[in-house]
Chain A
Amino acid sequence: PHLRTFRDEFQTCKVEGAWPLIDNRFLSVQVTNVPVVLGSSATATSKITVIFKSYHGCTDQKVYQATTDDLPLAFQDGTRSGGESGSLTIVERGGSGVGRQVKIQARYIGTSIIVRRVGSYLTFAIRMPEDTLDFSEDNGGLQLCLHGCPRNELIKEHTLGRQSQQPRVQGTSTELGPLRPPHQVYTVERATAKCRETLQVEDVYFQSCVFDLLTTGDPEFSMAAYGALEDLKALPPSKLKQNSPRTPRLSNRGVSHAAAAAA
């Protein structure tokens, strides 16, 4: 999936299987990613688990888990809140948003989380106070939100270019994630047009959208990019760093070139 880290770095990663996004003394977030198409290392998120650790006097430990089949409006113990003062709550987000959305508010740590189900996959967004994050934490460096993806998990343009020699076949095995009907093949022009229709501004989210359409042919992914951008607006970092059109500050700079190569 595409990852925007706490440091505002933007990456596209493989990270197949279960990976920790965050693991600190307040909460742990783990995601499971599954391959989306045969012949590509691209994966998408099929499960998200959030553990809110016990916080003395405010909440007991609560676990929230969402899968592609189930986006519950409650913690695993069936409750919708934790603590006497409602310092931990789950609400459904409505409105004109994309897909079904759940918002978890952890007031005691000033943290908000939005989980969406868009098409067959999940998206995740979190806003946390910087002083609750410990960037110097050294627990193997496996916190994708804090340190980004390991180098060997990054999808880079040369990798994409090589893979693009092979035709992309839509996965039909349950091992590769949910069964999905075959999708259309996008050209760069069609993918760009589709993403422009949804996103308007040609930033990193736009480039991710183009990448996803070219990789999977699944138009739902353009909505996932739109949803992620909406989540960024709803849960903005203090200093919102939006990239100017066509000059992305990407770690895997040149996604559009890679996407073009893939096509």
Chain B
Amino acid sequence: CRIQRCNAEYVASTSPSSGLQEDAALDVDYCIALRAYALCTRRQARSCRGDLVYHSAVFRIKELFSQHNCSSDGPTSSAKVPSTSRPAVSELCDYENRVLMSGSAGQQKKYAHCGLFGD
């Protein structure tokens, strides 16, 4: 169970030094960070089934979505998004751009293929 890692990433992405504040209601960047946190916890669902910290995080995330009026669908980012250079919608709606913005440009993104054909 790696819920602590999710917590740490979320704290890092919402810390004052990242340019984000939890009380910045309706902040697009904050919602991105929150969605990333939610995604990270979802991925731990199986391994953290019996972990209290995990269940607390799930509960808290639900509350935060509601408090900040964040939609659960939308872009996520696993890294800091500086609010001073907020990206345009067209950039946020481009996966490749988001990868570049999240600072993992040097790290090649992996793609998977699925195909169905014939009889």
Interface residues, chain A, CB within 8 Å of chain B?
1-8, 21-22, 25, 31, 36, 42-45, 53-59, 83-85, 87, 107-111, 118, 121, 123-131, 133-134, 136, 138, 144-145, 208-209, 211-212, 215-216, 221, 224-225, 227-228, 231-232, 235-239
A1 touches B111 (CB 8 A): no
Q: Which residues of B contact A145 (CB under 8 A)?
A: 114
Pick the contact of A108: B47, B95, B116 (CB < 8 A): B95
The verdict on B23 contacting chain A, using a C-beta distance below 8 Å, is no
A208 to B96, CA, bound (A): 34
B115 touches A87 (CB 8 A): no
17 A-B interface contacts by CB (under 8 A): A1-B118, A4-B114, A53-B73, A56-B75, A57-B89, A58-B89, A59-B93, A110-B111, A123-B116, A124-B117, A127-B113, A129-B111, A138-B46, A215-B119, A235-B111, A237-B110, A237-B112
**A-B contact sample (4 more), CB < 8 A, given A83-B93, A238-B108:** A4-B115, A110-B111, A130-B110, A208-B118
Residue of B nearest to A118 (CB): B117
Q: Which residues of A contact B45 (CB under 8 A)?
A: 136, 138
Prevailing SS type, chain A contact patch: mixed
A3 to B119, CA, bound (A): 10
Number of A-B residue pairs, CB cutoff 8 Å, is 164
A2 to B112, CA, bound (A): 17
Shortest beta-carbon distance, B28 to chain A, in Å? Answer: 8
A44 to B118, CA, bound (A): 6
Pick the contact of B75: A7, A58, A209, A224 (CB < 8 A): A58
Q: Which residues of A contact B94 (CB under 8 A)?
A: 85, 87, 107-108
A208 to B118, CA, bound (A): 8
Shortest beta-carbon distance, B49 to chain A, in Å? Answer: 10
